[in-house]
Amino acid sequence: MKLRTNVSANVKNKLSSTLKSWLPILQSGASELEETLGEFSKENPYIEVQSQISTDFSSQKKKREANTPKRGSSLDVIERFCIEEKSLEEELLDQINPPLFPTKISQEIAKSIIESIDEEGYFVGDYAKIATTHQVEIREVEKIRERFAYLDPPGIAARDLIESFHFQLENMDVEPHIWESAKKILSDLANHINFKDIPYYKEAMRVIASFKNPPALDYCEKEAAIIPDILVLQEANNIEVQINDKYYPSIEIQTYNKEGKEKLKDDFVKTKIKEARDLVDALEMRKATLYKIGLMIVEYQYDFFMGGEIKPMKLKDLAEEFNHAPSTISRAISNKFLECARGIFPLKNFFATALDEDMANTTIKDFVADLIKNENKQKPLSDNKILQLIEEKFNIKIVRRTITKYRAQLNIASSSERKKLYKMSY
């Protein structure tokens, strides 16, 4: 199957000059494009940027309003809840009231404790500093912090993971005998297997397994929604590449005034209108560039879209095709995403650095991740052993520190740390 198409010299020249003039448009991801165009419109009174994202949201909202009851419906409540979601700090401040915090000084100390909670929900403050600020004993600060065990989210303001679990157990409605067993297990959670003969061991472990880790998990910053630039649609053995222009902003050139009369075209006006038309061209060239990149990715990585692995693909391959510098192509794929049947992927994933002519580092990373996923929990694989298995399977030579680097990129602990984690797991 041949997907690559030749670009005429005229189109190439226009592509090169336009994108060189409006490079920020090429660099911007789909979610940033509207903001980038907005900056141009600030300097040009003849440009009006029409948002497709907000238009799409408005149309969807109108559809919902037409098909659902008015105010007070359950869907309306859910929508308002999602939009008006409280921050962790706001949630905690709303709970700093009697009877847990009956006096003004206890409330002020509690507020200082809230200011000393990190993004995961743990207390990282200085007792002495808080005590000095409020002119109380350190023990008084500690006593007030311990009352956070009865606040939501459970486990908040603990000093570490184990104390967070104690807080969550304290705040949980469970049978007393299960509560007692869970308390014992938490005294040495790393060696919980030593408690397997106590009554209700399994029930207690199920309770512990339900605890949130970290305690502020529900309030951790949500990942921004990813809007893919390129869509790869598959049906049987047919593959089609499309640009996801559903969310593309559009540009209108305002050449008429409010009375509907064409504005006088002096030199300033002519210059600005030309810039506006160049901007429209730049936006179209951006689409053409990404479409061509999508075609080339599908051609080079066809096996991947059929369920195989990513193969080596270098930026210079695209640079030669477009007659651009590799740095320009690097900007073109930065912050861009491709959606296909296998998920959403950054474009840069398809340009893996090759270890040799036939093997990409992404393939090695996938192999490392698979090895560790299936390793013996009693005897985790060392980096040296992983290195040996890689060299045997792929017939290549790499150094051990490369394995360490790949582990770090995959967020995988060392063999000794994994052994401890396996012991703690249930």
Task: Characterize the bridge pairing of strands 337-340 and 230-235.
Answer: parallel
Both 333 and 358 in a single domain?
no
The pLDDT of 88-113, averaged and rounded, is 94
| Distance, CA of 221 to CA of 119 (rounded, Å) | 9
Residue type, 143: K
Q: Is there a domain that residue 243 lies in?
A: yes
Q: Is there a domain that residue 19 lies in?
A: no
Where do runs of H (alpha helix) occur along 22-175?
Answer: 23-27, 30-42, 52-67, 74-83, 88-93, 104-115, 127-134, 138-146, 161-170
Helix 267-300, helix 315-322: angle, nearest 10: 130
Q: Is there a domain that residue 138 lies in?
A: yes
The band of 140, judged by pLDDT with boundaries at 50, 70 and 90, is very high
Domain boundary, last residue among 333, 352, 371: 352
Both 237 and 333 in a single domain?
yes
Rg (CA), the chain: 29
CATH of the domain at 391: 1.10.10
Both 336 and 251 in a single domain?
yes
Show the domain range for 247: 230-255+262-352
Global pTM value: 0.49
Q: Is there a domain that residue 269 lies in?
A: yes
Both 348 and 365 in a single domain?
no
The pLDDT of residue 354: 52
Element (H, E) at 242: strand 238-243
The pLDDT of residue 349: 81
Domain boundary, last residue among 176, 210, 244: 210
Q: Is there a domain that residue 166 lies in?
A: yes
Tell me if 47 sits within 8 A of 22, measured CB to CB. Answer: no
Helix 30-42, helix 267-300: angle, nearest 10: 170
Q: Is there a domain that residue 31 lies in?
A: no
Tell me if 151 sits within 8 A of 198, measured CB to CB. Answer: no
Both 319 and 382 in a single domain?
no
The pLDDT of residue 353: 57
Q: Is there a domain that residue 62 lies in?
A: no
Please state the domain count of the chain. Answer: 3
Both 160 and 115 in a single domain?
yes
Domain boundary, last residue among 290, 325, 352: 352
Question: Residues 376-397: pLDDT tens digits?
Answer: 988 899 999 998 998 888 777 7
